[in-house]
Amino acid sequence: MIKDLLNSFGEIFQNSDFIKDIYTLENGEYYLVDKSGKYINLSINKEHQNMTNELYDYFAIRDYYSKYLDNNKSVDTSFKENENSNKSVMGKKVVSNNIYSLFFKARFVQGLLKDSKEENSLDRWDKCIDKYYESLAKLKSNYLEKEYEEVLEEYIIIKEKMKRAFNAIIEDVKRKELKKDTYIKIFLDYAIEEYDKESNYYLSEKIFNTVDYNVVLNNKLYGANNYNFGLNSKKKYLELKSTSYKVGSLVSEEEIRQTRNLYIWLIKNVATKNYVKIPIEKELKINPELIENKNVYILRAINDNGNAKIEHFEIVPNYSNVLKDSFVCNNYIMPNIEIKENNIITNKLELMEKFVSNIWFSGYLERGYFDFKIIEEAKILTMWKKQIIKRYGKVFFNYFNRNNKLLFIQNLDNIGIEIVINSYYDFLNNKETGKIPFNVIKVMNLYLALDEYLKGKEGSINMRRSEVTEKAKEVIIEKGKINTDDLYYFVAGQVAQYLLSLSNASRITQDKLNALFSANSVEKIKKELTYIYNKYNYNLGINYERFNNVFSQLMTLEPEFDKTKAMQMLIAGVLTDNIFYTSIKDVKEEE
């Protein structure tokens, strides 16, 4: 996967030019110290993550040339109080790699935070800075094959500037209210070329996994890959499960530097998102609004202790975010009621996905594709919604990200019916009887819209519902005959909803409809309708001809039973405006 990404975008990651466009500074206090010792402070927090100005850009590029690669590759700043001691008084507390910069966390400096158990005195920090420059001098000495003492002498002036800056800035930071993990980052005012040059001495030794396997071939340096592979004393290469590689390999210094830049880009742009889609072309664009018939990478990376870790990588051929026909959803069930968030017309698959996520899963669908823990911890989601995402997450992902609609079509009825029924149960259990079930209407409208869009208008649930609604008016108001299976189940839903509306109870719980929606035969539906009738007929007039005509037909007719089609019309009958409350005058006015 790294090879794939570098083959596509390697030129972009050849140098630091890409940093200006994608690099963001982490939270902290940033100080620029000029040659006279005066400093400028820039405080970065979440609100400033997308800011752009000259000072921010100044810090960003120098921050790139100053950060260590990871915790295991920090510059050694530990020291002992005396040579006879075996215990380090101060461990590795510095996270920079450049003679012109010094990065550390506030909690490690005495006086910056209250009751910090990890703080070290300024005297210890003075020795820590000494050790920092000694370690950097060794790296440069090795790189240039130059005498260590000579290099260390070259660093004395820079080191003394940094010590003076450190002491002055600590006094300034003491006046701020800082959080425990706030970074303090000090930069001396030197040209970016100087930062780049000094950074190379660190990278030349640290950028490979280890220098033990470095070889020079045709004047090019090769070493062990530091990304997606581990090394220890027993096994030369350890395969990590997040990589598609099966064996380790040596990579060139040029390629490992490109890989480092790639991983910086990943941590800043991909690890902050659930996943991204990237067209395989020369420009590096994440989730462009319109992708039409292009090969794309689907990429997921997480932030693993400050480093990017690729968890999912795949290539999807001929992906298109542009729908051939626009997806439309309206309020079909109760058109006289305005529900703005239920309406959409879009030709973008991505917007269709977000619409489905918002209406059916409170905006959490996409978050559950790769990390179900997010779904489990989401308090806004009911348990049944979490279970649907768990069972059908791959079905949604395949359609919205791989253009595979066949699997979605095959599962749509199971998903849609389950969502609508459970939404109706939530309404019955939590709302007063008589209130309009807006949420149930929304989820049902979406089910109807998806069915019509994916399967075609002819024979769609909504077309069948519209047809039987008109026929149901004749059956109920004009005492007509039930002559189709769809009409039978729709009217059964109307009867169930009408009987429940007669209840004197302030709330109707889901158990009254649970058995009806779970029915596996016509006989079971009749049995449950009889149960509901016996429970609520105390408010039903004995000579109520409309009801008697309909109910007697429901009890005597024997329609064909197709579980899915039956439930579709039964649910539609329950949710559609109840015709038993419609007068003949109202029907004539509609006509």
Give pLDDT tens digits for 396-426: 999 999 989 999 999 999 999 999 999 998 8
- CA separation for the pair 444, 495 (Å, rounded): 19
β-bridge mates for residue 90, sequence order: 79
- Half-sphere exposure of 529 toward its Cβ, with a 13 Å CA cutoff? 27
Computed over every residue of the chain, the mean pLDDT equals 86
The pLDDT confidence band at residue 114, using thresholds 50, 70 and 90, is confident
Q: What is the pLDDT of residue 317?
A: 94
> Residue 446 pLDDT > 90, yes or no?
yes
Q: What is the pLDDT of residue 38?
A: 95
Of the listed ranges 165-174, 410-419, 572-581, the least confidently predicted one is 572-581
> Residue 587 pLDDT > 50, yes or no?
no
> Residue 85 pLDDT > 80, yes or no?
no
Integer angstrom CA distances of residue 516 from 82, 215, 350, 492: 82, 74, 36, 10
β-bridge mates for residue 215, sequence order: 222
Q: What is the pLDDT of residue 211?
A: 66
The pLDDT confidence band at residue 557, using thresholds 50, 70 and 90, is very high
The pLDDT confidence band at residue 585, using thresholds 50, 70 and 90, is very low
Q: What is the pLDDT of residue 229?
A: 52
Residue 135's SS3 state is helix
Mean pLDDT score, 494-501: 89
H-only helix segments in 431-521: 438-455, 461-477, 485-501, 511-517
* pLDDT more than 70, % of the chain: 87
Q: What is the pLDDT of residue 69?
A: 82
pLDDT in tens, 249-282: 677 777 878 888 888 888 888 888 899 999 998 7
Length of the chain, in residues: 591
* pLDDT more than 90, % of the chain: 53
**Better-scored residue on pLDDT, 228 or 72:** 72
Of the listed ranges 71-85, 376-390, 564-578, the least confidently predicted one is 71-85
> Residue 325 pLDDT > 50, yes or no?
yes
Of the listed ranges 313-317, 392-396, 509-513, the least confidently predicted one is 509-513
**100: burial class by Cβ within 10 Å (0-12, 13-18, 19+)?**
buried
Mean pLDDT score, 384-402: 96
Of the listed ranges 84-88, 281-285, 466-470, the least confidently predicted one is 84-88
Q: What is the pLDDT of residue 249?
A: 67
> Residue 327 pLDDT > 70, yes or no?
yes
Q: What is the pLDDT of residue 283?
A: 77
Place of tokens 């005297």: 123
Of 302, 407, 286, 269, nearest in space to 350 by CA = 286
The letter for the amino acid at 292 is E
Q: What is the pLDDT of residue 234?
A: 42
Of the listed ranges 153-157, 301-305, 309-313, 548-552, the least confidently predicted one is 301-305
Residue 181's SS3 state is coil
Mean pLDDT score, 15-40: 86
Q: What is the pLDDT of residue 87?
A: 64
> Residue 507 pLDDT > 60, yes or no?
no
pLDDT in tens, 424-434: 988 888 755 55
Query: CB of 30 within 8 A of CB of 185?
Result: yes
> Residue 236 pLDDT > 50, yes or no?
no
Beta-carbon count within 10 A of 88 CB: 12
**Better-scored residue on pLDDT, 165 or 260:** 165
Q: What is the pLDDT of residue 525?
A: 95
> Residue 224 pLDDT > 90, yes or no?
no
Q: In what order do the strands lie in the sheet with 220-224?
A: 215-217, 220-224, 250-252
